[in-house]
């Protein structure tokens, strides 16, 4: 099976799962609807992105066992809505504003940088050093970090950060370092590395 089957199943189920939790805990406050809108919409957009410009890393073949393991690991991302809806806590105005900002801004730079990478490499393979990647070598990871930070913030609990914290340490950082090692084969990579940040834009 392809790894993306497990990932897409999780993304697609997020809205129904959050809605189910809302009914299970009888929680229909502002925080519940906010979370459903933010995380549910993100899941739908992910599936749309996969249809238009799929990421090659999710296309690789894996065993069914590994696919099940990957799907189970992704359950960590549902800790945030579980905590929010089971606690009955309501996010404050500043928390709502911060969550919306992080998710909207993060979605834009994540999906737009993925689109740039996909279509650039499709027609001109090589090192990408302009656009979203001019000052940051992993703008897509930065966007994803912002998105899940927005979800975690909306959970109103430090435990809501469990999912993004675990994946950032176990997946994001190793992938970024692996990507740097792979790109080092290009003669111009060293100069590009000097002017760009690994995760955050280098603007000085």
d(CA 196, CA 201): 6
Residue 122: pLDDT band (50, 70, 90) is very high
Residue 5 neighbours by CB distance under 10 Å: 15
| pLDDT single digits (tens) 160-188 | 999 999 999 999 999 999 999 999 999 99
Residue 118: pLDDT band (50, 70, 90) is very high
Please return the burial class of 73, using the count of CB atoms within 10 Å of its CB with bins 0-12, 13-18 and 19+.
middle
| Of the listed ranges 78-82, 87-91, 146-150, the one predicted with least confidence | 87-91
CA nearest 168: which of 84, 104, 79, 77? 77
- Terminal-to-terminal C-alpha distance of the chain: 45
pLDDT over threshold 80, residue 204: no
Average pLDDT rounded to a whole number, residues 135-141: 96
Average pLDDT rounded to a whole number, residues 84-95: 95
Give this prediction's pTM: 0.94
| Of the listed ranges 11-20, 53-62, 70-79, 149-158, the one predicted with least confidence | 53-62
pLDDT over threshold 90, residue 34: yes
d(CA 163, CA 110): 18
Looking at residue 172, the DSSP 8-state letter turns out to be I
Please return the burial class of 64, using the count of CB atoms within 10 Å of its CB with bins 0-12, 13-18 and 19+.
exposed
Average pLDDT rounded to a whole number, residues 54-83: 93
Q: What is the mean pLDDT of the chain?
A: 95
In the prediction, which pLDDT does 162 show?
A: 93
Hey, is 126 helix, strand or coil?
Answer: coil
- Whether residue 59 contacts residue 5, with contact meaning beta carbons closer than 8 Å, is answered with no
Sign of torsion over alpha carbons 7, 107, 175, 159: negative
In the prediction, which pLDDT does 42 show?
A: 97
| Domain-wise residue ranges, the chain | 3-195
């Amino acid at each position: 099976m392809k790894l993306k089957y497990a990932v897409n199943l999780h993304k697609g189920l997020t809205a129904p799962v959050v809605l189910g939790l809302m009914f299970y805990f009888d929680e229909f406050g502002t925080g519940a609807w906010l979370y459903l809108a933010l995380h549910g919409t993100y899941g739908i957009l992910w599936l749309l992105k996969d249809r238009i410009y799929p990421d090659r890393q999710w296309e690789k073949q894996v065993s069914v066992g590994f696919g099940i393991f990957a799907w189970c690991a992704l359950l960590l991302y549902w800790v945030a809505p579980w905590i929010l809806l089971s606690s009955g806590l309501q996010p404050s105005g500043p928390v709502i504003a911060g969550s919306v900002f992080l998710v909207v801004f993060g979605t834009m730079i994540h999906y737009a940088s993925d689109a740039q990478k996909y279509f650039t490499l499709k027609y001109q393979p090589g090192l990408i050093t302009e656009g979203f990647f001019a000052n940051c070598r992993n703008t897509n990871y930065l966007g994803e970090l912002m998105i899940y930070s927005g979800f975690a913030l909306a959970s109103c609990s430090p435990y809501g950060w469990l999912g993004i914290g675990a994946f950032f340490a176990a997946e994001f950082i190793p992938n970024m370092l692996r990507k740097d090692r792979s790109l080092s084969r290009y003669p111009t990579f060293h100069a590009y590395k000097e002017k760009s940040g690994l995760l955050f834009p280098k603007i000085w």
